[in-house]
Amino acid sequence: MTLSSARLDRFARHIVLPEVGGAGQVRLAESRVAIIGLGGIGSPALQYLAASGIGRLALVDDDIVDVSNLQRQTIFTTRDVGYGKAVSARRWLANFDDALQVDVSDARITPENAASLIAGADLVLDGTDNFATRLAVSDACVAAGIPLLSAAVGRFQGQVGAWAGHLPQEACYRCFVGDAFDAEDCDTCADDGMLGAMAGWVGSFAAMQAVKVLLAGVSTLGAPGWSRLHILDGLEPGMRTIRIAPDPACKACAASD
């Protein structure tokens, strides 16, 4: 792939970075990222991934826009209230950069349809708000050999993890949380509250990690950091990183090693 003069101008600030360069920008343009969940994390992540020049995006969310979302879900406006998030997000992308290829689905992701919804992706970014969906996405990624970034946020804390359970000696998301959370039983921001800017920090950090994953082997931006969980604290503020060991008994990834 070669970039047109218009695309070279648009991404000039990327291309002059030695850690990205022209080859890196071409790689981004050739990449397909599936974003699962277009809420507080998916919204800012989508904005920065689109701005980075990811060539193709798959958007998956079965929810509709509610007025309470606008405090943190930055791609939506009051005119979107009552409309599907996936369709509204595609409309935002069309206004932002009509050269992007966008696929949308308003299906609720389940263990039965997860594989088809992420098919063809070079990377999946999961910003959903319940364990059942996250585990369904993780298991599908392991089976398909697709790397996964999972991100979560609540109140003043966030997490972003990089998982490649299909690779030897690397953990998957199920290794991290185990099998006890396949039910949809986790707390929500409606119950606990969330600072909108905290969601923005987590989503933009997840987007930066996504670029790093996609450019691995092409640029010098850094290693993907598989099996590492970054914990973001908005009150201190600060961040710490821990490594998650693969679970030898994991029913998703142990058999794939």
pLDDT reported for residue 22: 95
Residues designated catalytic? 189
Q: Specify the residue for token string 């099996």.
A: 227
How does pLDDT run across 126-154, given as a tens digit for each residue?
999 899 999 999 999 999 999 999 999 98
Element containing residue 57 per DSSP (H, E): strand 56-60
pLDDT reported for residue 90: 97
How does pLDDT run across 16-50, given as a tens digit for each residue?
999 999 999 999 999 999 999 999 999 999 999 99
Q: What is the distance between the alpha carbons of residues 10 and 203, in angstroms, rounded to a whole number? A: 22
pLDDT reported for residue 192: 73
* Structural contact between residues 98 and 50, judged by C-beta atoms closer than 8 angstroms: no
Q: Which of 225, 222, 215 is nearest to 21 (CA)?
A: 215
